[in-house]
Structure 1
Amino acid sequence: MSKGLLFDIKRFAVHDGPGIRTTVFFKGCPLRCAWCHNPESYRKQVEKTVNTRKLNGRTYREEEKVGEWMTVERVMGMIGKDAVFMNESGGGVTFSGGEPLMQPVFLEELARACVGESLHTCLDTSGYAGNDALQRVFPYIDLFLYDIKSLDKERHRRYTGKSNRLILENLRWLIKMRANIRLRVPLIPGINDREEDLKALEDLLSEAGSSVQGVDLLPYHKLAAPKHKTFRGEYAAGNIQVPEGSAMEYIRQRLEKHTNVPVGVGG
């Protein structure tokens, strides 16, 4: 049985799919989004950080390990503790990251084990992976939470470090396969909230048809700034302004009106 590199397992999650869920966070991601909420997930390797804290006028330094190789059996043991809450709430297990598709063998084994226990499965993915990895896990995923950072190829490369071509190709493959999809769009002022961005998103939703069951608009925030400074040395998105609630609501209403797809704010 293979092992997967994880950096967190969050119990009683309510923003990563329907119902009460356990979210399994995979370590390793091919993208380098300037606003990433989990920069500790970038490298597919165990890392160590040093945290400092002050107590009674003295400074203490504590070393912390980020990432751990775990077996499917061990992860399933942790998931099973909350199975009753998942089943009663219509919840399940969400695979997030990082990018879970960077570890397709482990992801397939873990997702298959969840299906074997009749647990609903979600894959929160950037879509930046070989289609063979996506095909491998497809039979064991009930819902795809599919991230769309930017539909403009130049801005996508500038702010994530990668082209969006593969992401869109995989999304269209999922649509062709009639997968259950919710698009997740981080709203970043000045980067993907312009008129041309909204129009491109509307066109994509029209193209997708009934496969896309809804859209989650995720407002940009700066909560991850300290982690960026720890793991990257700087916070590249520090000058971006947090979007106003009224702007989020305008975009939500506009997308719903033009596409007839349910749109929410937040996960």
Structure 2
Amino acid sequence: MQGTIFAIKRYALHDGPHIRTTIFLKGCPLFCRWCHNPEGISPQPQLVWSADRCIGCSTCITACPHEALHLTNEQVRRDVDRCDGCGECVRLCPALAHEANGWQATVDEVVTEIKKDIPFFDQSGGGVTFSGGEPLMQPTFLLALLQEAGTLGIHRVVDTSGYAEREVISTVAEHTDLFLYDIKHMDNNKHRLYTGVDNRSILDNLRYLHNKGAKVQVRLPLIPGINDDHENIVQTGTFLRGLPEINGLDVLPYHPSAKAKYNKLHLNYPGEHIQVADQAYIQEIVHNLEQFDLSVRIGG
């Protein structure tokens, strides 16, 4: 069985409890304006070119078997209709200006990488986290990875938006020790405006996990001008107060560090006009949420 991943991050400290290895699965049905992993949105592996690394040798242009690369105004342009993602440009570029964003991997290959960190898991109480993108977009692959990790006695976290069919949520929950679960906006219309999808199944799935007794840590990405208004904070607090078994709430302040990733992918950064909140304002939001008897932390 194969799936598509785009990164493996070792010694992660903010993707669940203690020291973790985070596996990033490719593909996401949401298009959040503040997304900090744009390389995880497309479900397919992507080839990207970095101008700051290119030395202008034209090796890639000559080597491309499909004549998909052209030099225009000192920029290498890729004809997406001709390119089949064979990766010859990545393999042959002497300056590493071409990169593959994402690759196919088998369950055994991923589990082999996870096993390397078992000594750190044993010492710290950590484990493996499956993130994205949206890991629930590859449910069969994710389930196989969760089952294998469970067989090895490794603590398993799924970091998700919760946007999935109930059957997927239910099956994955049987093999997950902790969910990191995003709530991005309580208003359905605004949720659709800022993420591209409806939020009703997301909230329903969170209720389902709560009632099922699953361990869930809710995360609120705090995005100034989008979901930080008083009304949404009150609605979020009220909703979570009705789910008393939820483990807690992490407030994740917005930061613009992903802008370089968008530039690398030759994408316009949709969060260009989002402001960064100061610490006093973030503390005020946290204080307001704590009024709903919630255990609130800043960061993951």
Give the aligned partner of residue 237 of structure 1. Answer: 271
Number of residue pairs matched? 264
Q: Return the alpha-carbon distance in structure 1 between the equivalents of residues 265 and 181 of structure 2.
A: 25
Q: Answer yes or no: is the 8 Å Cα contact 2:54–2:97 preserved in 1.
A: no
Q: Distance in 1 between matches of 2:96 and 2:149?
A: 39
User: Following TM superposition, by how much is the alpha carbon of 1:57 offset from its aligned partner in structure 2, in angstroms?
Assistant: 11
Instruction: Return closer, same or farther for 1:55/1:113 CA change in 2, 3 Å cut-off.
Output: closer
Larger radius of gyration: 2
Which residue of structure 1 lines up, in the alignment, with residue 292 of structure 2?
Answer: 259
Aligned residues of 1:29 and 1:98 also touching (Cα < 8 A): yes
Q: 1:17 to 1:29 in 2, by over 3 A?
A: same
Is residue 222 from structure 1 mapped to residue 222 from structure 2 by the alignment? no
Please list, as runs of the form range in 1=range in 2, the aligned pairs for 1:81-96 lying within 5 A after superposition. 81-96=116-131
Q: Percent identity at matched positions?
A: 44
What is the distance in 1 between the residues matched to 2:56 and 2:142?
Answer: 46
Task: Give the 3-state SS of the residue equivalent to 2:144 in structure 1.
Answer: helix
Matches within 5 A, 1:167-178: 167-178=202-213
Matching residue of 1:248: 282
Of the structure 1 ranges 154-163 and 52-61, higher mean CA displacement relative to structure 2 is found in 52-61
Contact 2:6-2:26 within 8 A present in 1 as well = yes
**Distance verdict in 2 for CA 1:234–1:261, change over 3 Å:** same
- Greater percentage in strand: 1
TM-score (norm 1): 0.94
When residues 54 and 68 of structure 1 are mapped into structure 2, their CA distance, relative to the original with a 3 A threshold, is: closer
| Partner AA of 2:247 in structure 1 | Q
Q: Give the TM-score normalised by the residue count of structure 2.
A: 0.84
Unaligned runs of 5+ in 1: none
1:183-222 equivalences in 2 (<5 Å): 183-210=218-245, 212-222=246-256
Match of 2:97 in 1: 62
Contact 2:50–2:264 (Cα < 8 Å) also in 1? no
Q: Distance in 2 between matches of 1:232 and 1:164?
A: 29
Higher helix share: 1
Q: State the Cα distance separating 1:176 from its structure 2 match.
A: 1.3
Instruction: Name the counterpart of 1:165.
Output: 200
Displaced runs of 4+ in structure 1, greater than 3 A? 54-61, 229-232
